[in-house]
Amino acid sequence: MLTDTLAPTPNPIRHDAPEEIPVLDLGPYLRGDPGALHALGKQLGHALENVGFYFIVNHGIEQALIDRTFAAARRFHAQPVDEKLKIKLDSNLRGYEPLKGSTTRHSAFEANNRPNLNEAFFIGRDLAPDHPDVLAGRPFRGLNQWPDDLPGFREDVLADCRAAEKLGLALVPVYAVALGVEPGFLMRGFEDPMFTFRMSHYPQTGALEDNEFSLAPHADMSFMTLLPDNEVPGLSIRLPNGRWIDAPAMAGSFLVNGGDLLRRYTNDRFLATPHKVLNRSGVERYAIPFFMDCSYDFVMECLPTCRGEHNPARYEPISYAEFRKFYRRSHYGNV
Ligand SMILES: O=C(O)CCC(=O)C(=O)O
Ligand SMILES: [Fe+2]
């Protein structure tokens, strides 16, 4: 039966699921070594079917770029709140979201009724003011809102987004192989992919109320989330066997996970694993996740290799734009 709601349901608990987050070495694949695509596809399929998270190493992104972007996040959040509020989050979900500015209402994992103890700056693709989608006022396709007074900030952030998107797109054929379709098959959904880049600041938390988090348990919405390694702990992951673990640190790596978009597209074959943040480290914490989605008008329809006689499609085909609107409603109220 097709589900008539877009609300995500939790992955069922699987007691035999692995406890380790797999580490995928992208070196051979990015070098074009023979056989590397298929070998990597196999590892990626295993990771996303059983864990929902994996590390990547030898991904080709320079650490200096990541360091610069963390520094940009610090710089942004060091501004006075009034300055940040000049570019308050708009209906396209771009701009500044203040501390306690969001409540993770779409979570199916806990009664998240308290606002998140983080502040964040969001951008999407940096469209030109005369882009037809901007002129037409298409939802989520508006202009980014940049701070007035941070020279170099925009350039640094956009350089990071370009690198992260290139990496994300390079991984799409690996997802295709993992899902048993031709390597180029999924690219039709990524001709002009949407993305959200989030620069978060998690202040140190004091005593917390019940159900209070730096970022409440949630699954991402994305097709793929790329999260550079963080030297400050705080992220934890609910493994498919139901156990929460602290995300291990791995210098120079990215931690990658799938969101509800991927899960839906693959008929629940690939997991959208819940995670949360609590900053009890004693220092300020920053994070710079890049959420890569598919193209705006792309209609996600259950992949042919993810359904069968005994495994019918669980979800209606839906365009990315409609899917995203649901998330906006459930996460941001009436923004
Ligand atoms: O802060 C982190 O390490 C992860 C953040 C996260 O899960 C998110 O922004 O969706
Ligand atoms: Fe997340």
State how far Cα 245 lies from the chain centre. 19
Residue 247 Cα: closest atom of ligand 1: 3
Closest CA to 290 of 225, 221, 223: 225
In a domain, 13, yes or no: no
Residue 331 has what pLDDT?
Answer: 65
Closest CA to 169 of 313, 294, 267, 260: 294
Residue 202 Cα: closest atom of ligand 1: 1
Residue 287 Cα: closest atom of ligand 1: 1
CA of 203 to the centre of ligand 1 (A): 14
In a domain, 17, yes or no: no
For the chain, what is the mean pLDDT?
A: 92
Cα of first residue to Cα of last residue in the chain, in angstroms, is 32
Task: Assess whether pLDDT exceeds 60 at residue 332.
Answer: no
In a domain, 3, yes or no: no
In a domain, 275, yes or no: yes
DSSP 88: B
Strand ranges in the chain using DSSP code E only, listed in sequence order: 23-25, 53-57, 95-97, 119-123, 193-202, 215-218, 224-228, 235-238, 244-246, 254-257, 275-277, 285-287, 290-295, 299-300, 318-319
Task: Using the structure block, give the residue that is written with the tokens 């005994």.
Answer: 310
**pLDDT classification of 109: cutoffs 50, 70, 90:** low
In a domain, 16, yes or no: no
**pLDDT classification of 4: cutoffs 50, 70, 90:** very low
**Residue-range definition of the domain harbouring residue 39:** 23-332
Residue 225 Cα: closest atom of ligand 1: 10
In a domain, 10, yes or no: no
* Per-residue pLDDT tens digits for 6-19: 555 667 888 888 88
* Per-residue pLDDT tens digits for 20-74: 999 999 999 999 999 999 999 999 999 999 999 999 999 999 999 999 999 999 9
Output the residue whose Cα is nearest ligand 1's atom 4.
Answer: 235
Residue 118 Cα: closest atom of ligand 1: 1
Domain count, the chain: 1
Output the residue whose Cα is nearest ligand 1's atom 9.
Answer: 289
Q: Length of the chain in residues, anyone?
A: 335
CA of 259 to the centre of ligand 2 (A): 8
Instruction: State whether the beta carbon of 275 lies less than 6 angstroms from ligand 1.
Output: yes
Cβ pair 189, 262 in contact under 8 A: no
Residue 2 has what pLDDT?
Answer: 45
* Per-residue pLDDT tens digits for 128-178: 999 999 999 999 999 999 999 999 999 999 999 999 999 999 999 999 999
In a domain, 302, yes or no: yes
User: Rounded CA gap, 21 and 190, in Å?
Assistant: 27
In a domain, 9, yes or no: no
Q: For residue 217, what is the domain's CATH number?
A: 2.60.120.330
CA of 290 to the centre of ligand 1 (A): 10
User: Rounded CA gap, 284 and 215, in Å?
Assistant: 14
Cβ pair 14, 240 in contact under 8 A: yes
Instruction: State whether the beta carbon of 235 lies less than 6 angstroms from ligand 1.
Output: yes
Q: Assess: ipTM above 0.90.
A: yes
What is the best residue among 93, 196, 277 to mutate for testing ligand 1's pocket, by most ligand atoms within 8 Å of CB?
277
Q: What share of the chain is helix, strand, coil (3-state, %, to 5)?
A: 30, 20, 50
Position 264, amino acid: R
* Per-residue pLDDT tens digits for 177-235: 999 999 999 999 999 999 999 999 999 988 887 788 999 999 999 999 999 999 999 99
Rg of the chain, C-alpha, whole Å? 19
Residue 5 has what pLDDT?
Answer: 52
What is the best residue among 112, 225, 275 to mutate for testing ligand 1's pocket, by most ligand atoms within 8 Å of CB?
275
